[in-house]
């Protein structure tokens, strides 16, 4: 899986921290540049991208030893190397509903306020699955999906100040520009930058990916199903260098979304009764949040009873399958609790279960939080009288976390063993096996499949 292995074997490219080897890299760069077709963009293999490392070492040595003047001119050429395309592997979706195709893609250098990241690990989220089958957006193909990922900064564009080459980072699909009304308001995290003028493109309306001569759309501007990606600086946060990326990638979406919906959006209270519809990574993380907040009862609801054991392992006090009852599930929950549910969460993305979750709330001040995503703007049908008595219906995006700002703290909490991600990760596969991961998720045989793109 190491992209270095994929580079043209006739063009060995040695990268190391010594100046001597930096010179080799430089000569190879010159050789490749000379041989390339002048009418086409000059491609470099992903291993060449690692020239960055030797470049930094070179710069360090250049400022501290007598070689300074001899090698000074080389610096500018090496800087140029850093601004070329990277050729690497990615999982492309050419049409909705088709299997992913592992293809060679070209990843352009980062522009101003952008960062190019070597993706180490990425989870396959329920949103990717829905997006994969979304025939309503068939104009936004080919596309590279994936938004739950972690990696290492390969290079940065002009004006980037919060991360640098070599930093371990977490990708956040919800940006935090730090300047809009949402970013300046502590009660919301929905940064205006999320609503792009041109969907699935970078801020300037273009993509950094091409494949077989075609421009490729970038899902959520993250596109983590690729060995390298380019994202906005406002969508990436530096994290603890010791963090295991194949685990903490779940903090990039599923875990944070669920856990935060309980502790930030609903503000679950000690001793309360909670119900969670949908026991995937998001729903299970809601359960973990409800437990951390001190809920007395946590009822898991899912049509797949294979999820019940793990739900109980992470904190559910009981689990039920709506298919086991003739009565609507909201009536079952009222029977179980007398009074209804204090905090109810929908983590499926189905208008029927959203309405049922809302109807399950106790009438005085029960709170229903909608987390599940639907590919279309589907109408939600609810009885207006249910609202009159004081129930409330809320939405939650990315668990209410200020994305870039809160990520380092969540990672530190993970490192301090305040929560455990292991129960959520049932499969770890290489990126090439992405279609296998889709099958595991679709058939409900696993919770989260983590794909290893480039080993750390």
Binding site for Zn ion (CB under 5 A): 125, 127, 253
* 403: contact with ligand NAD by CB under 6 A: no
Alpha-carbon Rg of the chain, whole angstroms? 24
Which residues have a Cβ under 8 Å from the Cβ of 31 and sit 6 or more positions away?
Answer: 11
Taking a C-beta distance cutoff of 8 angstroms, is the pair 296, 319 a contact?
no
Total H helices, total E strands in the chain: 15, 19
Total interface residues for ligand NAD by CB under 6 A: 32
- Minimum CB separation of residue 384 from ligand NAD in Å reads 24
Non-local (6+) Cβ contacts of 74 within 8 A are: 22, 23, 26, 58
47 binds, among ligand NAD, Zn ion, none (CB under 5 to 8 A by kind): none
Of 375 and 408, CB closest to ligand NAD: 375
349 touches ligand NAD by CB under 6 A = yes
Supply 173's token pair: 């699909």
Q: Please report whether residue 149 would count as binding ligand NAD according to CB under 6 A.
A: no
Task: Report the alpha-carbon distance of residue 199 to residue 317 in Å, rounded.
Answer: 42
The nearest distance, CB 156 to ligand NAD, in angstroms, is 27
Kindly state the smallest distance separating residue 104's Cβ from Zn ion, in Å. Answer: 26
Choice between 56 and 130, CB closer to ligand NAD:
130
Name the minimum Å distance from CB 47 to ligand NAD. 34
Minimum CB separation of residue 79 from ligand NAD in Å reads: 39
What's the token pair of residue 82? 């850093």
- What is the number of the residue whose Cβ is closest to ligand NAD? 280
If the CB atoms of residues 178 and 444 are measured against ligand NAD, the closer one turns out to be 444
Residue 411's CB: how many other CB atoms inside 10 A?
21
Query: Per rule CB under 6 A, is residue 279 in the interface with ligand NAD?
Result: yes
Neighbour tally for 132: CB within 10 Å? 19
**Count of residues making up the chain:** 456
Other Cβ atoms closer than 10 A to 267: 11
Query: Shortest gap between Cβ of 396 and Zn ion (angstroms)?
Result: 13
**Are 298 and 144 in contact, with CB atoms under 8 Å apart?**
no
- Of 392, 397, 386, nearest to 349 (Cα)? 397
Is residue 14 close enough to count as binding ligand NAD by CB under 6 A?
Answer: no
Q: Does 157 bind ligand NAD (CB under 6 A)?
A: no
**Which partner from the list Zn ion, ligand NAD, none does 282 bind, CB cut-off 5 to 8 Å by kind?**
ligand NAD
Q: Which of 130, 238, 305, 312 binds ligand NAD (CB under 6 A)?
A: 130
Shortest spacing between CB 173 and ligand NAD, in angstroms: 8
* Nearer of residues 253 and 393 to Zn ion, judged by Cβ: 253
Site for ligand NAD, rule CB under 6 A: 125-127, 130, 253-254, 257, 277-283, 301-304, 307, 322, 347-350, 353, 371-373, 396-398, 444
């Amino acid at each position: 899986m190491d992209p270095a292995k994929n580079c043209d074997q006739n063009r060995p490219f040695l990268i190391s921290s010594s100046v001597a080897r930096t010179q080799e890299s430089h000569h190879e760069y010159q050789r490749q540049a000379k041989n390339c077709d002048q009418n086409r963009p000059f491609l470099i293999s992903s291993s060449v991208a690692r020239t960055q490392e030797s470049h930094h070492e070179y710069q360090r040595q250049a400022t501290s030893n007598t070689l300074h003047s001899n090698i000074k001119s080389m610096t500018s050429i090496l800087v140029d190397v850093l601004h070329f395309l990277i050729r690497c592997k990615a999982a492309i979706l050419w049409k909705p509903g088709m299997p992913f195709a592992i293809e060679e893609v070209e990843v352009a250098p980062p522009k101003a306020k952008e960062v190019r990241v070597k993706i180490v690990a990425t989870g396959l989220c329920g949103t990717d699955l829905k997006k994969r089958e979304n025939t309503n957006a068939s104009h936004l193909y080919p596309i590279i999906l994936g938004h739950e990922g972690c990696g290492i900064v390969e290079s940065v564009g002009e004006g980037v100040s919060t991360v640098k080459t070599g930093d371990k980072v977490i990708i956040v699909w919800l940006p935090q520009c730090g300047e809009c009304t949402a970013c300046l308001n502590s009660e919301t995290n929905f940064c205006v930058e999320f609503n792009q003028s041109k969907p699935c493109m970078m801020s300037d309306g273009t993509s950094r990916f091409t494949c077989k001569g075609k421009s490729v759309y970038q899902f959520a501007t993250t596109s983590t199903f690729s060995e390298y990606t380019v994202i906005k600086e406002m969508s990436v946060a530096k994290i603890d260098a010791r963090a295991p990326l194949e685990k903490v990638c779940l903090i990039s979406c599923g875990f944070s979304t669920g856990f935060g919906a309980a502790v930030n959006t609903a503000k679950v209270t000690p001793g309360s009764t909670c119900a969670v519809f949908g026991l995937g990574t998001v729903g299970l993380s809601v359960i973990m949040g409800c437990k951390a907040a001190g809920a007395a009862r946590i009822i898991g609801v899912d049509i797949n009873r294979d999820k019940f054991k793990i739900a109980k392992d992470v904190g559910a006090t009981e689990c039920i399958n709506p298919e086991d009852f003739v009565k609507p599930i909201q009536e079952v929950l009222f029977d179980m609790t007398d009074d209804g549910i204090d905090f109810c969460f929908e983590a499926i993305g189905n208008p029927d279960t959203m309405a049922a979750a809302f109807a399950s709330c106790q009438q005085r001040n029960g709170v229903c939080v909608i987390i599940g995503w639907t590919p279309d703007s589907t109408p939600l049908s609810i009885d207006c009288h249910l609202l009159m008595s004081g129930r409330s219906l809320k939405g939650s995006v990315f668990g209410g976390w200020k994305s870039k700002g809160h990520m380092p703290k969540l990672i530190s909490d993970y490192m301090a063993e305040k929560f455990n991600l292991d129960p959520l990760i049932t499969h770890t596969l290489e990126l090439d096996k992405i279609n296998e991961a889709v099958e595991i998720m679709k058939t409900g045989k696993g919770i989260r499949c983590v794909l290893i793109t480039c080993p750390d």
